[in-house]
Every structure is written in C-alpha cells, then in structure tokens.
Amino acid sequence: MRVSGTVIADSSTVIEDGCVLIEGETIRTVGDRERLAEQYPDHRELTTDIVMPGIVGGHIHSVQSLGRGIAEDCELFDWLFDYILPMEATLTADEMAAAARLGYLELIETGTTTAIDHLSVAHADRAFEAAGEMGLRGLLGKVLMDRRSPDGLLEATADALAESERLIQKYHGSFGDRIRYAVTPRFAVSCTEACLRGCRELADSYDGVRIHTHASENRSEIDTVEADTGMGNIHWLDEVGLTGEDVVLAHCVWTDDSERELLAETGTHVTHCPSSNMKLASGVAPVVDYLDRGINVALGNDGPPCNNTLDPFTEMKQASTLQKVDQLDPTIADAETIFEMATTGGAKAAGFDRLGKLKAGWRADVIGLSTETTRATPLYDPLSHLVYGARGEDVELTIVDGEVLMEDGEVIVADADAIRDEANDIADSLDLEEARENAQRLKP
C-alpha cells in the first residue's frame, strides 16, 4: 500500500510530494511519491492532502462518552461524584460496550490511532473487545476503587486486584499485540494504600504491563490526599510505588519543585489534558517546566464529559496557546514541541516502540487529512496548520498496523450510524438519580 500526499514524517521532516510505503504491519520506506510509484507500481495507492503519524491519546476515558454534556460548569469533585461516578455505576455490560464503541469510533474518525484508556470498574472486558474488534492500538485498564466509592464501583481490594490480574492474563498482548494492559487505580482519593501497593506488585509481575492513574489534577484532591497521608500527592504515589518509567500520571497540574524533581528522577510520564483542565478550572499544568526538566509529556483529551470532544487537534492547539498565555511568551510550546507530545511523547508513555513517526521499520499507524477547507487556505506551513488550524473532522484516512480503519471519511471497521443510534437510545433511558444520591454522600 502507498499513502501519498504532503508527508509530515516527524516534527522536522516534511516531504511535499511524498509517499509512505506500507507492507504488512510496518512502514517499508518513506520518500518521493513519483519514485516510489515507479518502484512499487503494484501497490494500491491511497491519496490524501497531508499524511502524518497516527496520534497517541495519552489519557482517554472512552466509556465516559455516554456522559458527554451531562456535567457542565462544575469543579472536579462535583463533576465526579454528582455525575460521572453515578453514570459509570449505572451502566450495564451492554451499555458499557456501547459507550466504548462510541468513544473508539470518535478516535478513529478524528485521527487517534493509539489510546491510553482509563476504563471503569465493571465490564472492562467489553471495552477490550470493542477496541480489538475496531482495530485500535491501546493501553487499557480496568479501574480500581476500594474506598470513597459508590455502590456499583466499590470493590474489596483483593477482588479488584484479582479481576485486574484476570484481565491482564486475557488481554495483555492481545489482538496481535495492539492491545496491552495498564493497571489503573482511579486516584489516591479512592484507593487505599493496600490497593496502590498491590497495583505496583501486580504490574511488576507481568512484562510490559504499565500503570496509569490520575494525579494532582485539582487542589481539593491535593488537600484530601495530604489529609489522608500527611504527604503531597506525588510523594505519596512514589511512596507506594506509583512512579517510574512504566507509570503514566494524568494531569499533574499542582506539583511543587520537589515533586517535579521526583518525576524527572524516576522517569515518570505526565499526560497534559489542557481542555479538561480549563473547563473544570483545575489550573494550568507547568508543561514547559516539565519539558525543561526532561520529563516526557504526552497529550490527552481526558473524557468527553469534561471537554466534550475526543478531537486531538483541538487539544494540540489548546496545549500550545494555554502555555503561551500562561507564560506570556509566544515562543514556547511551539508547533514542533506540541506535535511531538501528540505522537512520540504519547508513544513513549504508552510503551510502544517504533511508534509516532513515519519511518522505515516503524509501525504503520498513519492518518491522512484533507486541506480542502477555508481554514487551510492558504497553506504556508503544513505542520503549523496541523497544530493551530486543523480539526478532527479533517481526517479522512486512518490506518493502524497497516489496516485501513477509515477511508475517504467513512469508517469501514464498524457501523458508525448504528453505534451512534445505540448510544442515543441508552442516553435517553439512563436514570441516575439513585446512583447520584449514593455517590454524593461520599464526596470529600
């Protein structure tokens, strides 16, 4: 297969009339379109305007897709305990599967080919199956919650860890190694020390299993963890083993100098979620400082209920402009830096090698975008356009492991209309009142 157009191979390599040659699951070569067409005339050619690596969503909540729009204009703990936890606690297995499919459909449609996905406590099998069947690459994990959790989400510590291990054994390395596992405690507020330490022990027991959790997103969260433990959040996570090169911490908005030093020393990955942090008024993450310290920073959308979209291009623009205005410096968080966060930074956090660039021998995760829009006219700098002007709706081609998931803007691995219709039917029937009352009494 040949994918042709203006090729953005990485943040510093642009081939104006280029071609990505894919054979099987990998990229054989990248180069001049005319030359590769002559050398490989029998390969099917797909043409698009801009060709780039698939985006890696560094922190996603696919199964929260059914909650898009139900929790507006509130802060984190109100958002979580009044709306999101009640919704997750209410969903049946079939409804959780529908929620996951809806989230994954949006990822395919908008150019995210790999997701670090924070699921829910129950019915995680259904999300793993949906991701695998729809062809995405992902680092997925069932959520663990063994305190401050409503009925339907609260589990005994041993049961939560045992279910996580069952899922590791079933799904880690599944679907041709596109799907891997991350042990996923929700956050320190809803997990006991025994649970958090057990997460580290479990991850260490299996090669390639990682850890994914939330950290230091909100001041109320920081205060709660300090009241519980007498320590700052990042120091507490380090104490129980939840830092290191196999750990992805989402948000990290409120960290002090010692915590940032700890993140750098341990090689812990941080995922920046600017739209979510802005909408929930959580704050501005010190991304520039993290990068200056050598901390790997990925980029994530978080969940649809806290930013209303899984469009990664929206997130790229927000990530750049938020840092510029916060630091009053237009030169920082430039297009090249943000592009790397969305591709190679996310791939590093997810633990997949040979991912995030269009390069010979690397995994064939490729997307194509149309520039037949007023927003792309004129087009002086394709990379700048991707970060500041493009939108997920511009994506017309999505390929994972050499498999075409969407072509000419039409998803071919699933029935998109059926997925949306099912999601709307479920949303119309949801009754959260009892679950909301149950969750609200647990709010810190």
Of 49, 52, 50, residue with least CA distance to 10? 52
DSSP string, 78-103: HHIIIIIHHHHHH--HHHHHHHHHHH
Same fold, 2-53+358-410 and 55-350: no
Q: CB under 8 Å to 2, separation ≥6 — which residues?
A: 19, 20, 21, 22, 33, 36, 37, 40, 43, 44, 45, 46
Quick check: 180 and 215 in contact, CB under 8 A?
no
Q: What is the pLDDT along the chain (444 residues), one digit of tens a residue?
A: 999 999 999 999 999 999 999 999 999 999 999 999 999 999 999 999 999 999 999 999 999 999 999 889 988 889 898 999 999 999 999 999 999 999 999 999 999 999 999 999 999 999 999 999 999 999 999 999 999 999 999 999 999 999 999 999 999 999 999 999 999 999 999 999 999 999 999 999 999 999 999 999 999 999 999 999 999 999 999 999 999 999 999 999 999 999 999 999 999 999 999 999 999 999 999 999 999 999 999 999 999 999 999 999 999 999 999 999 999 999 999 999 999 999 999 999 999 999 999 999 999 999 999 999 999 999 999 999 999 999 999 999 999 999 999 999 999 999 999 999 999 999 998 888 877 777 787 778
At 316 the three-state DSSP class reads helix
Classify domain 2-53+358-410 by CATH number: 2.30.40.10
Dist. CA 360–CA 50, nearest whole Å: 18
Classify domain 55-350 by CATH number: 3.20.20.140
Q: Where do the domains of the chain lie?
A: 2-53+358-410, 55-350
Dist. CA 58–CA 297, nearest whole Å: 9
DSSP string, 100-117: HHHHHHHHHHHTEEEEEE
